[in-house]
Amino acid sequence: MTVLMFGWEFPPHITGGLGTACFGLTKSLFLRGMDIIFVVPKLFGDENTEVARVVGADNVAVKIDSIKQFSQSINSKYIEINSKLVPYQTDEEYFRLANSSTVSVEGNVDENKYFSFSAGYGKDLYSEVERYAIVASQIARDFEFDIIHCHDWLTYKSGIEAKKISRKPLVVHVHATEIDRSGYNNINSLVFEIEKKGMDEADKIVCVSQYTKDILVKYYHQDASKIAVVHNGIDKEPLATKHAKVKKTAKLVTFLGRITHQKGPEYFVDAAAKILAKDRDVHFVMVGSGDLYNKMVEKVAEQGLADRFHFTGFLNQADVNKILSATDVYVMPSVSEPFGISALEALENDVPIVISKQTGVGEVVNNALKANFWDTDSIADSIYALLNYKTLKNTMVKECRRDLEHLSWEAAASKLENLYNQLLS
Amino acid sequence: MNAICLNFKVHQPYYYKKYHFFDIGVTHDYYDHSRNEEMIRRVSRSCYIPTNNMLLKLIERYGDKLSFSMTISGTTMEMLENYAPEVLKSFQTLVSTGSVELMSTPYYHSMAMVKSSDEFKCQVTQHQKKTKELFGVSCRNFANTDLIYADYLGIILSEMGFRGVVTEGAKYVLGWRSPNYVYSNPIARNLKILFRNQQLSDDISLRFSNSYWAGYPLTAEKFSDWLCRDPNHKCVTIAMDYKVIGYYMERSSGIFGFFENLPQTIFRNTDFKFLSPNTIFSHSDAVAPVYIPNEISWMSAERDISPWLGNELQKDFFRKLYRLEEAVKRINEPKILEDWRRLQSVDNLFDMNFRWLNEHQFDVDNPQSPYEAYINNMNILNDLEMRLQQIRFSRMVIRNKLKNTVEV
């Protein structure tokens, strides 16, 4: 069986859980004997190509004819949207913007055209999504495959295009929704529409948690029977083997993620303030970047916590690992978190976690300490207890790791395989 | 003589409020007062009042043919006194008939015996005093917190002058022996033991309202048949939580009708009498000693003390709690002593049980995770420790001051 997958990230070029999940699934599907064609917008050249045939959309020769057909099918020449929406924004310079924002359909029918992609999450995102879909229509013509599987809204249009051309079943994999990212009062309706269209057109919807399934049913009006929950797995290789333990002197509490509304950074700062009022012997670190970065720095300064509260900006995996290995408590106060792989990574390294009740990962780790994201008293209580009550820390980590035993990418891939087989039979 | 020996456990725990880490050293009030009041009222409404009334009527009807026993914890007596004096009165009326034997038990519904026999005796004595004060009776027999028992406890009880004890008829200690006889402690032979008949007790307390159970619906007729099923049944001990009647099993389950009909049916169909433990211990000799080296109880499938001391959180809290014993008793401040003793309630330990978490089912009366419970308990314990230190320190300061004055 050959699966045509559309993604946006593939290791080592990842910025969050999405890339990790795509790789984990791909690898395990490959080990189950499936062939994967993994399409990303742009090839950097150092992608892990052992487990999948990785195709860069920027390397695909697109026939002018395909472009014309695409334009006709969506009944418009080209859609260009200016938006400030940047769901996965990072402040990294390497996300340079694509250099062309309109698609030229001039030229001979036989002529080929290449598109360029930044493969980031910049302000040109919408036009990249459109271009990605055009290339997808060409890929659907060029390749042989049995099933189409696309990851998150950026690739849904591509999936729909590929389905239109190939008439193969389409699986959309929901790793996050606009509801999670922006809160349901604040959604970007264009993104929401793309997401809903993708789900409507899909033959099967896969999502990463029951929490997300509930959102899909409630806000996207999807039929619950069409949705399958496939929890993410975890790469069971502790940091200790990857990285030497960092020598440490102070207690360290860590927040790791994009500093955006979705991740609830302000609740972390509030909880830190409550702890520091009682115990100045604790350090807090916020790893990541995002649109609320400046606001958080200001908030920390206002509350006079700056000597105990540190910002690192965006860090690469090696540095993240270093910080994790020195961390005493990992906190994920997300407002809405479809899954939250990073919490599992912390646990795998014996770091106890405090997570909000609004996460998917809470469904698989019963023994994690959970609180509502807005309940900073409880979050602070949990952090304080984990820092001070050793038995609690040890017991919780031990019991959580037992919870994790059932969780693997293999199990996730096995569920996907069953699902593919059902769609093909 | 064929006897049916009824024992009701009457206990209502203290609920604690959410005690945050930033409360440590700041406030020393740990209790959720409004909830405690609400719960005791709710339980009174659905169970205590209607059941007391029903039993009172039955006693009036059958006179001395009907007697049974109750084990009322000290904390429950306190709460009834404070929040529902009219309900306390109804218990007093019931006891004043002379047909209800009150059993001795640790005042704070604790399992102090596991850690400190001294503390255990203090709590039993305190309970006896309170019982005497409120009900004017002395207890001659003992029913421990959730029927916890082991040989060493029997010896302590015998030394304290008790005649007998009611405990769980745990199959793994009884083996081939029937629970329906009077046994004795193997070392303190004068201490008699009644074993709870698991099957018949649970038929009422667990299965009565279960419509999937083969025995459903359980009627007084059926129950009296089962009572005589085994010709060797001599004295059958039926022990249960009082709250089963009316609270856990609502009125609509027919539980009140069942108990109303039970005496009449049993008198008509069998030669069983309802006797109190004291009467049974007076008239029956022990048939044999039973060795019980480790603690048994009526809780869970294991019938041991693992529901309270099964995981590391519970053991850690238990250890740290009793580590304070010496200091608490030396400082001897009534309020601190009371707070420390209330923390010993097995309800606090049970809240830290993992079973609830892993079965995704929560105690409806107390919907917190075992981790939350542990954090709360430990925060309170830390505050308690801090209070002890403060008092110790201030006494030291005063002592030094006085010493200096004398020297000058």
Give pLDDT tens digits for A25-63: 999 999 999 999 999 998 888 888 888 999 998 888 888
Of A377, A389, A394, the CB nearest to B20: A377
| Angstrom distance (rounded) from CA A369 to CA A395 | 12
DSSP helix/strand/coil, B293: coil
Domain match, A227 and A261 both: no
How far B337 CA lies from chain A's nearest CA (Å)?
24
- CATH classification of the domain holding A17: 3.40.50.2000
Total-model pTM: 0.86
pLDDT beyond 70 at A104: no
pLDDT of residue A317: 81
The secondary element (H helix, E strand) that includes residue A30 is: helix A17-31
Cα-to-chain-centroid distance, residue A139: 24
ipTM: 0.82
Mean local confidence (pLDDT), A297-309? 95
Domain match, A82 and A182 both: yes
Residue of A nearest to B317 (CA): A391
C-alpha torsion A232→A233→A235→A236, nearest 10:
150
C-alpha torsion B196→B197→B199→B200, nearest 10:
-110
Domain match, A105 and A223 both: yes
The 8 Å CB, 24+ separation contacts for B331-338 are B331/B388, B331/B391, B331/B392, B333/B391, B336/B384, B336/B387, B336/B388, B336/B391
Mean local confidence (pLDDT), A18-29? 92
Domain match, A171 and A260 both: no
pLDDT of residue B357: 64
Domain match, A152 and A41 both: yes
Q: Are strands A282-287 and B235-241 parallel, antiparallel or unpaired?
A: unpaired
- Cα dihedral across residues A408, A413, A419, A425: positive or negative: negative
How far A383 CA lies from chain B's nearest CA (Å)?
10
Q: Are strands A62-63 and A112-113 parallel, antiparallel or unpaired?
A: antiparallel
Q: Are strands A369-371 and A353-356 parallel, antiparallel or unpaired?
A: parallel
pLDDT of residue A185: 83
Residue of B nearest to A391 (CA): B313
DSSP helix/strand/coil, B3: strand
Cβ-defined contact of B371 to A367 (cutoff 8 Å): yes
Q: Of A141, A163, A159, which Cα lies nearest the Cα of A6?
A: A159
Mean local confidence (pLDDT), A384-403? 93
Domain match, A327 and A399 both: yes
Cβ-defined contact of B311 to A370 (cutoff 8 Å): no
Of B21, B312, B372, the CB nearest to A278: B21
Q: How many domains does chain A have?
A: 2
Cβ-defined contact of B374 to A369 (cutoff 8 Å): no
Cα-to-chain-centroid distance, residue A198: 17
Cβ-defined contact of A394 to B312 (cutoff 8 Å): yes
B87-99 per-residue burial string, b: 16 or more CB within 10 A, e: under 16? bbebbeebbeeeb
| Angstrom distance (rounded) from CA B8 to CA A422 | 57
Of A274, A385, A399, the CB nearest to B378: A385
DSSP helix/strand/coil, A305: coil
Q: Which residues in B lie closer than 8 A to residue A378 (C-beta atoms)? A: 18
Between helices A390-404 and B312-323, what is the axis angle to 10°?
170
Our CA angle for A338, A343, A349, nearest 5°, is 155
The secondary element (H helix, E strand) that includes residue A276 is: helix A265-276
Secondary structure (DSSP) of B298-363: SSTTT-SSHHHHSSHHHHHHHHHHHHTHHHHHHH--HHHHHHHHHHTBHHHHHTT-SHHHHTT---
Q: Residue ranges of the alpha helices (H) in B183-240? A: 198-205, 220-229
Mean local confidence (pLDDT), A78-82? 40
Q: How sure is the predictor about A89, in pLDDT bands with cuts at 50, 70 and 90?
A: very low
**What are the start-end ranges of the E strands in A161-281?**
170-174, 204-207, 227-229, 251-256
Name the residue range of residue A43's domain. Answer: 2-233+409-424
Domain match, A228 and A255 both: no
Count of CA atoms in the C-beta half-sphere (13 A) of A75 = 0
pLDDT of residue A109: 56
Say if residues A404 and A17 touch (Cβ distance below 8 Å).
no
| Angstrom distance (rounded) from CA A238 to CA A251 | 21
Q: The tokens of B371 are what?
A: 């981790």
Cα-to-chain-centroid distance, residue B29: 25
From residue A147, alpha-carbon distances to A199, A417, B223, B279 in Å are: 16, 11, 64, 80
Q: Which residues in A lie closer than 8 A to residue B372 (C-beta atoms)? A: 369
- In a mutational test of the B interface, the residue from A278, A355, A389, A406 whose CB has the highest number of chain B CBs within 10 Å is A389
- Cα dihedral across residues B93, B99, B104, B105: positive or negative: negative
Cα-to-chain-centroid distance, residue B159: 21
Write the single-letter amino acid at B334: P
Domain match, A21 and A85 both: yes
A79 or A276, which is more confident: A276
Domain match, A316 and A364 both: yes
Cβ-defined contact of A396 to B371 (cutoff 8 Å): yes
Q: Of B155, B179, B208, B188, which Cα lies nearest the Cα of B303?
A: B179
pLDDT beyond 50 at A307: yes
Q: Which residues in A lie closer than 8 A to residue B375 (C-beta atoms)? A: 381-382, 385, 389, 392
Q: Of B126, B85, B119, which Cα lies nearest the Cα of B104?
A: B126
Q: Residue ranges of the alpha helices (H) in B33-116? A: 33-43, 49-62, 74-83, 85-96
The residue to which tokens 């009824």 are assigned: B6
Cβ-defined contact of B22 to A369 (cutoff 8 Å): no
Q: Which residues in B lie closer than 8 A to residue A389 (C-beta atoms)? A: 316, 374-375, 378
Cβ-defined contact of B374 to A367 (cutoff 8 Å): no
Mean local confidence (pLDDT), A209-231? 96
Would you call A389 an interface residue with chain B, using a CB distance cutoff of 8 Å? yes
How far A405 CA lies from chain B's nearest CA (Å)?
14
- Cα dihedral across residues A207, A210, A213, A215: positive or negative: negative
For residue A374, count other CB atoms closer than 10 A to its CB: 16
Residue of A nearest to B311 (CA): A395
A205 or A95, which is more confident: A205
Q: How sure is the predictor about A77, in pLDDT bands with cuts at 50, 70 and 90?
A: very low
The residue to which tokens 């308690």 are assigned: B384
**What are the start-end ranges of the E strands in A303-361?**
309-313, 329-332, 353-356
pLDDT of residue A72: 67
Q: Which of residues 245-274 of A touch B (CB under 8 A)?
A: 274
Between helices A409-424 and A17-31, what is the axis angle to 10°?
70
Q: Which residues in A lie closer than 8 A to residue B316 (C-beta atoms)? A: 389, 391
> With 0-12 CB in 10 A as exposed, 13-18 as middle and 19+ as buried, what is A412?
buried
Domain match, A202 and A281 both: no
Residue ranges of chain B whose CB lies within 8 Å of a chain A CB = 18, 20-22, 24, 311-313, 316, 354, 357-358, 360, 369, 371-372, 374-375, 378-379
Q: Of A244, A342, A323, which Cα lies nearest the Cα of A285?
A: A323
Whether omega before A333 lies within 30 degrees of 0, making that bond cis, reads no
Of B21, B316, B357, the CB nearest to A366: B357
Comparing A18-22, A300-304, B182-186, B287-291, the range with the smallest average pLDDT is A18-22
Say if residues B313 and A397 touch (Cβ distance below 8 Å).
no
Domain match, A103 and A23 both: yes
**What are the start-end ranges of the E strands in A259-379?**
282-287, 309-313, 329-332, 353-356, 369-371
Domain match, A196 and A336 both: no
pLDDT beyond 50 at A245: yes
Positions of chain B with pLDDT under 50: 360-362
Of A278, A384, A392, the CB nearest to B371: A392
Full set of structural domains in chain B with CATH: 2-283 (3.20.110.20), 306-407 (no CATH)
Would you call A372 an interface residue with chain B, using a CB distance cutoff of 8 Å? no
Secondary structure (DSSP) of B95-129: HHTS-EEEPB--TT-B-GGGT-HHHHHHHHHHHHH
Q: The tokens of B378 are what?
A: 């430990």
Q: The tokens of A4 are what?
A: 């045509």
Q: The tokens of B406 are what?
A: 């004398």
Cβ-defined contact of A384 to B21 (cutoff 8 Å): yes
Q: Which residues in A lie closer than 8 A to residue B312 (C-beta atoms)? A: 391, 394-395
Residue of A nearest to B358 (CA): A366
pLDDT of residue A366: 87
B315 CB-near residues (< 8 Å, 6+ apart): B309
| Angstrom distance (rounded) from CA B283 to CA B266 | 21
Helix, strand, coil share of chain B (percent; to 5): 55, 15, 30
pLDDT of residue A130: 86
- Cα dihedral across residues A8, A14, A19, A23: positive or negative: positive
Q: Of B176, B209, B181, which Cα lies nearest the Cα of B195?
A: B181
How far A269 CA lies from chain B's nearest CA (Å)?
16
| Angstrom distance (rounded) from CA A253 to CA A267 | 13
A259 CB-near residues (< 8 Å, 6+ apart): A265, A286, A288, A289, A290, A291, A292, A293, A296
| Angstrom distance (rounded) from CA B21 to CA B257 | 49
How far A380 CA lies from chain B's nearest CA (Å)?
8
How far A382 CA lies from chain B's nearest CA (Å)?
7
